């Protein structure tokens, strides 16, 4: 314990109460620490750490209004203001470290429960400092990105069989995985598991299986881990990845949802939930997750202006689908946009996007005049400049106003304007009859091929699933719609009496009817299919 | 209008108010420590008063934490994070936590544990069990408390012994489970602490073994002996 030279240490104390700061200051002075700084709120900690290296940061969890200790830690890591070599100790009056920590993704090096005593402070600081000294060569190598040296150091440490060997093993497992040394990682985790079924080792082994492509085994293990320890957050993330790799978006959403339930404070998981819910067309879940993302983003370094835009877009979709959105949404959107102008210092395009989205919400709530005013404001700002994201927001506003002709006119213009920009074309494809981007052309062709193969093999349900997935991405694609109708006909011939299938046929036909008129090249095919359905139904009667 | 009132989940209400109380007591303890440091007791009388204040506040704090933990256990949101830890760490923490209390009440506390002894357990839960038992000993012991740890067969055994009058015979027979026995509540305590300790011990399992607690009288100091076994 005497190895630490306290005179050389620099320590930062962060607490909103001066009495606590003074108490801790006194304790540190008694230990011989002279280089002590103080901070009374989160901003101050972030500012001080940006300019100064502190060996130890003693940060209270509750820092008054604004950011708490976890926000601060998250931001310090995000900005690279601290590395593994700084010691961050969270201080809190909470009784359980799990309750405080499990709600977030980054863990402090240690956790001290209030009330703290001088002896406690000394013991914990000394333990951490000695540990840092032991692991320092490995940390330095990791900070340099030198995995080979890091793993050499860690191998020695993990074989030492002392109080640092487990810590070294945990790190070494991660380093092995990062190096692609899967066999070594597997051996390390297996050896740890021979002693006890420890969560970190089980998770590590599941990760190795996942990387190797053995998604079944990885999935089984991960499900078992979260079942036995429902608060072990990292396991949910890997489980969600696993389902995603298997192509099962519904289960991916479920895994993220469970993690979010345990840890509603994690903005990154809320974002992931919103995105996967969107892919699944689950508007209720998406709306809630986007709303929370915006709220959490106010204090988090991971909050962005795009989160706000995405939230308003989702609100518009919800309103359009008749989902009830609580509160005075228009007012909320207005305030939010003003806040973000202030917070993020928006450029011209972004301000225009704000107007367009405000307009879209107005249009969706029946305030047409207001919506047109917003459109005008955006047009005045952008003049003839074209930015793909703003343009798409404009199209959505026009569609919400019922101006389909103008929207289609602009779409044709945009296709021309961005003909050399693959990325922009990909964003436009959702609104086009035929995808314009290379990637999506290839994708539609592939899906169509697969679907037609299934159809030819009379696997109509599978074919429908295939076409439906593509329809979600390209809702305007007439060919896909007609393929769906044709697959339904195939199904109907097998079960001619099934009223559900008849209803599905009629709905699918109605969909196509909204997309094409008599002059469309696919119109004859549409008529043929429509007549065929009529014949089948009449035969029954 | 109907007669039915909106039902409230009383345990949730209790839990959240216990949570508030605990935070307040935490503040109280911190201020108390400041006070003792800034204005040290001038005579024995004052020192005694400080001790009583500190001891009772710590006890309330400990009991509230137990209540919260039991609530979470019941609600199955109590995570058990078993990992490898060095025993000396958790024991030293408890000595440090009660350092001032022990000093002001003139009790000598000793620690006997191999520096290299390590085991698999949840460090926070086991820490709070030891903390409660130590606090209890402060109340009943005459002059000494000894905390020790060693491996006994398949178990780690943490022992807290004192030189007080020892545990009453009724408790030796059935250390926990007394909570249900209303008659016993009158003899000075609910034994919530022991119930808590037993529950936490039970949460630790390995193969077919399960943690447990044991009470004895005698031991090296001739008083009460509390033993916590973790497989």
Residue, of A101 and A184, whose pLDDT is higher? A184
pLDDT at A45: 95
Query: Is residue B26 within 8 angstroms of chain A, CB to CB?
Result: yes
Q: What is the number of structural domains in chain B?
A: 2
**What is the mean pLDDT of the segment spanning A519-532?**
88
Residue A527 has pLDDT above 60, yes or no: yes
Inside any domain, residue B1: no
* Residue B89, min C-alpha distance to chain A (Å): 9
Query: What are the structural domains, with CATH classification, of chain A?
Result: 6-142 (3.40.50.2300), 145-262 (1.25.40.10), 438-540 (1.25.40)
Q: How many CB atoms lie within 10 A of CB A25?
A: 17
At B2, is the pLDDT very low, low, confident or very high (cuts 50, 70, 90)? very low
Last residue of a domain, one of B39, B56, B78: B78
- What is the least distance, in Å, from the CA of A166 to any CA of chain B? 7
Whether residues B56 and B90 fall in one domain: no
Alpha-carbon distance of A506 to B23, in angstroms, equals 63
Residue A20 and residue B30: Cβ atoms within 8 Å?
yes
Interatomic CA distance for residues B211 and B199, integer angstroms? 9
Whether residue B2 is contained in a domain is answered as no
The residues, ordered by sequence, that sit 6+ positions from B218 with a Cβ below 8 Å of its Cβ are B166, B225
- Neighboring chain A residues of B23 at a CB cutoff of 8 Å: 93
| Residue A233 pLDDT level (bands cut at 50, 70, 90) | confident
Phi, psi of B120 (to 5 degrees): -110, 115
| Residue of chain A with shortest Cα separation from B64 | A95
The residue-averaged pLDDT of B3-12 equals 67
Mean pLDDT of B141-170: 91
Q: Are B176 and B183 in contact (CB under 8 A)?
A: no
Final residue in a domain of this structure, among B78, B100, B122: B78
Residue-level pLDDT at B186: 45
- Search chain A and give the residue with CA nearest B86: A163
Retrieve residue A259's tokens: 């993690």
- Asked if the Cβ–Cβ distance from A231 to B26 is below 8 Å, we say no
For residues B159 and B59, membership in a common domain is answered with no
Clarify whether residues B55 and B152 are in a common domain: no
Q: What is the mean pLDDT of residues A36-54?
A: 94
**Cα distance from A238 to chain B (closest Cα, Å)?**
19
The reported pLDDT for the residue numbered B183 is 44
Average pLDDT, chain B: 82
Asked if A123 and B116 come within 8 Å (Cβ–Cβ), the reply is: no
Look at residue A535 in the predicted model and tell me its pLDDT: 86
Asked which of A57-66, A94-103, B121-130 is least confident by mean pLDDT, the reply is: A94-103
Confidence check: pLDDT of B100 > 80: no
Sign of CA dihedral B173, B179, B182, B185: positive
Identify the band that residue A521 occupies on the pLDDT scale cut at 50, 70 and 90.
confident
Higher-pLDDT residue of A432 and A238 is: A238
Q: What is the token pair recorded at A356?
A: 């367009």
Q: B206 Cβ partners below 8 Å, 6+ apart?
A: A196, B120, B154, B231
| Same structural domain, B59 and B31 | yes
CA neighbor of A346 nearest in space, from A387, A375, A290, A315: A387
- Nearest-CA distance from A170 to chain B in Å? 12
Residue B104 has pLDDT above 80, yes or no: no
Residues B106 and B134 in one domain: yes
B136 touches chain A (CB under 8 A): no
Q: Are A357 and A389 in contact (CB under 8 A)?
A: no
d(CA B7, CA B29): 36
Shared-domain flag, residues B56 and B93: no
Does B3 map to a domain? no
Residue B181 has pLDDT above 70, yes or no: no
Beta-sheet strand order (sheet of A56-60): A35-39, A10-14, A56-60, A87-92, A110-113
Residue A152's pLDDT is 92
Structural domain span for residue B16: 9-78
3-class state of residue A156 by DSSP: helix
* pLDDT over threshold 80, residue B78: no
In the predicted model, what is the mean pLDDT of chain A? 89
Do B72 and B87 reside in the same domain of the chain?
no
Tens of pLDDT, residues B207-223: 889 999 999 898 888 88
A255 Cβ contact list (under 8 Å, min separation 6): A236, A239, A240, A243
What is the pLDDT confidence band of residue A283, given thresholds at 50, 70 and 90? very high
pLDDT of residue A205: 95
Question: Residue B190: what pLDDT?
Answer: 59
Answer whether B89 sits within 8 Å of A127, measured CB to CB.
yes
For residue A200, which residues of chain B lie inside 8 Å, CB to CB? 83
Tokens representing residue A311 in the block: 């939230």
Of B30, B52, B78, the residue at which a domain comes to its end is: B78
Mean pLDDT over A298-310 rounds to: 90
Closest CB to A166 among B84, B95, B206: B84
More confident residue, B73 or A112: A112
Q: B128 with B205, same domain?
A: yes
B4 in any annotated domain? no
pLDDT digits (tens, 9 = 90+) for B32-43: 877 877 788 888
Residue-level pLDDT at A394: 94
Instruction: Determine how many CB atoms are found less than 10 A away from the CB of residue A482.
Output: 22
What is the per-residue pLDDT for A331? 81
Question: Residue A103: what pLDDT?
Answer: 58
Q: Which two tokens stand for residue A101?
A: 């920590």
Q: Locate all alpha helices (DSSP H) within B75-122, ordered by sequence.
A: 87-97, 99-104
> In this structure, are B30 and B140 located in the same domain?
no
What pLDDT score was predicted for residue B210? Answer: 92
Residue A99: pLDDT band with limits 50, 70, 90: low
Q: Are residues B231 and B206 part of one domain?
A: yes
Of A304, A310, A277, A278, the closest CA to residue A291 belongs to A310
8 Å CB contact between B192 and B175: no
Asked, for residue B19, whether it belongs to a domain, the answer is: yes
- Cα gap A96→B128, rounded to integer Å: 10
DSSP structure class, residue A36: E
Structure tokens at A249: 């978006």
Nearest-CA distance B25 → chain A (Å) = 9
pLDDT > 60? residue A427: yes
B26 and B133 both lie in a single domain: no
Please state the φ and ψ torsions of residue A2, each to the nearest 5 degrees.
-90, 5
Interface pTM, i.e. ipTM = 0.77
Contacts of A20 in chain B (CB under 8 A): 30
Examine residue B113 and state whether it is found in any structural domain, yes or no. Answer: yes
Considering the domain boundaries, does residue B158 fall inside one?
A: yes
CB A315 within 8 Å of CB A287: yes
Which range has the worst mean pLDDT, A248-262, A336-350, A356-370, A391-405? A336-350
For residue B206, the Cα-to-chain-centroid distance in whole angstroms is 23
Model pLDDT for residues A67-83, shown as the tens digit of each residue: 888 889 989 999 999 98
Does residue B179 form part of some domain?
yes
pLDDT tens digits, one per residue of B110-143: 899 998 899 999 888 899 899 888 888 888 888 8
Banded model confidence at residue B162, pLDDT cuts 50, 70, 90: very high
- Whether residue B49 is predicted with pLDDT greater than 70 in this model: the reply is yes
CATH of the domain at B228: 3.30.565.10
Task: Give one word for B217, left, alpha or beta, with left for phi > 0 and alpha for psi -120 to 50.
Answer: beta
Q: Does residue B50 sit in the same domain as residue B96?
A: no
**CA–CA separation, A95 and A61 (whole Å):** 12
Asked whether residue A465 carries a pLDDT value surpassing 70, the answer given is yes
């Amino acid at each position: 314990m005497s190895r630490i030279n306290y005179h050389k240490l620099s320590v930062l104390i962060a607490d909103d109460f001066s009495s606590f700061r003074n108490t801790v200051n006194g304790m540190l002075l008694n230990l011989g620490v002279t280089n002590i700084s103080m901070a009374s709120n989160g901003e101050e900690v972030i500012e001080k750490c940006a300019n100064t290296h502190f060996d130890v940061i003693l940060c209270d969890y509750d820092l008054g209004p604004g950011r708490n200790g976890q926000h601060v830690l998250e931001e310090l890591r995000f900005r690279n203001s601290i590395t593994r070599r700084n010691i961050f100790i969270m201080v809190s009056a909470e009784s359980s470290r799990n309750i405080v920590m499990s709600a977030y993704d980054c863990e402090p090096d240690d956790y001290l429960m209030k009330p703290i005593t001088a002896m406690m402070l000394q013991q914990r600081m000394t333990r951490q400092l000695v540990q840092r000294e032991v692991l320092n060569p490995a940390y330095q190598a990791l900070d340099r990105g030198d995995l080979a040296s890091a793993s050499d150091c860690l191998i020695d440490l993990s074989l030492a069989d002392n109080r640092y060997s487990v810590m070294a093993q945990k790190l070494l497992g991660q380093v092995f995985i990062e190096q692609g040394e899967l066999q070594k990682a597997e051996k390390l985790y297996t050896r740890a598991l021979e002693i006890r079924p420890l969560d970190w080792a089980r998770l590590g082994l599941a990760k190795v299986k996942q990387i190797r492509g053995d998604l079944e085994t990885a999935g089984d293990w991960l499900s078992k881990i979260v079942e036995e320890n429902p608060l072990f957050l990292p396991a949910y993330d890997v489980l969600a990845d696993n389902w995603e790799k298997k192509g099962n978006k519904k289960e991916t959403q479920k895994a993220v949802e469970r993690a979010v339930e345990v840890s509603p404070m994690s903005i990154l998981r809320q974002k992931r939930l919103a995105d996967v819910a969107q892919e699944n067309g689950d508007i209720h879940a998406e709306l809630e997750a986007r709303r929370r993302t915006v709220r959490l983003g106010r204090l988090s370094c991971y909050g962005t202006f795009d989160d706000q835009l995405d939230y308003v877009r989702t609100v518009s979709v919800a309103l359009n689908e008749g989902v009830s959105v609580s509160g005075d949404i228009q007012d909320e959107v207005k305030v939010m946009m003003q806040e973000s102008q202030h917070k993020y210092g928006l450029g011209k395009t972004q301000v225009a996007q704000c107007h367009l989205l405000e307009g879209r919400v107005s249009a969706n709530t029946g305030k047409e005049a207001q919506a047109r005013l917003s459109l005008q404001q955006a047009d005045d700002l952008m003049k003839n400049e074209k930015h793909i994201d703003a343009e798409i927001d404009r199209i959505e506003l026009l569609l919400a106003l019922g101006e389909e002709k103008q929207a289609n006119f602009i779409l044709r213009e945009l296709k021309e304007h961005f003909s050399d920009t693959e990325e922009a074309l990909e964003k436009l494809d959702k609104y086009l009859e035929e995808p314009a981007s290379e990637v999506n052309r290839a994708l539609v062709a592939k899906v169509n091929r697969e679907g037609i193969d299934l159809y030819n093999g009379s696997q109509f349900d599978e074919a429908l699933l295939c076409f439906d997935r593509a329809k979600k991405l390209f809702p305007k694609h007439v060919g896909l719609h007609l393929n769906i109708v044709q697959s339904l006909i195939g199904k109907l011939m097998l079960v001619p009496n099934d009223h559900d299938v008849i209803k599905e046929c009629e709905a699918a036909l109605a969909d196509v009817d909204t997309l094409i008129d008599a002059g469309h090249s696919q119109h004859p095919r549409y008529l043929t299919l429509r007549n065929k359905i009529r014949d089948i139904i009449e035969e029954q009667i | 209008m109907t007669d039915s009132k909106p039902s409230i989940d009383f345990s949730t209400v209790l839990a959240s108010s216990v949570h508030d109380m605990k935070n307040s007591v935490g503040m109280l303890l911190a201020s108390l420590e400041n006070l003792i440091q800034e204005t040290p007791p001038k005579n024995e009388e004052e020192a005694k008063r400080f001790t009583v204040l500190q001891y009772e506040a710590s006890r309330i704090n400990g009991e509230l934490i137990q209540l919260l933990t039991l609530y979470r256990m019941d609600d199955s949101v109590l995570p058990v994070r078993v990992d490898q830890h060095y025993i000396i760490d958790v024991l030293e923490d408890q000595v440090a936590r009660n350092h001032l209390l022990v000093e002001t009440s003139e009790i000598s506390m000793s620690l006997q544990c191999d520096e290299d002894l390590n085991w698999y357990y949840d460090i926070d839960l086991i820490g709070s069990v030891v903390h409660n038992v130590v606090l209890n000993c402060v109340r009943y012991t005459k002059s000494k408390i000894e905390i020790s740890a060693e491996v006994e067969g398949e178990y780690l055994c943490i022992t807290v012994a004192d030189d007080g009058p020892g545990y009453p015979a009724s408790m030796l027979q059935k250390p926990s489970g007394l909570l249900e026995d209303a008659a016993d509540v009158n003899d000075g305590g609910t034994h919530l602490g022991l119930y808590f300790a037993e529950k936490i011990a039970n949460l630790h399992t390995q193969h077919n073994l399960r943690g447990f607690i044991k009470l004895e009288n005698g031991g090296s100091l001739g008083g009460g002996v509390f033993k916590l076994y973790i497989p």
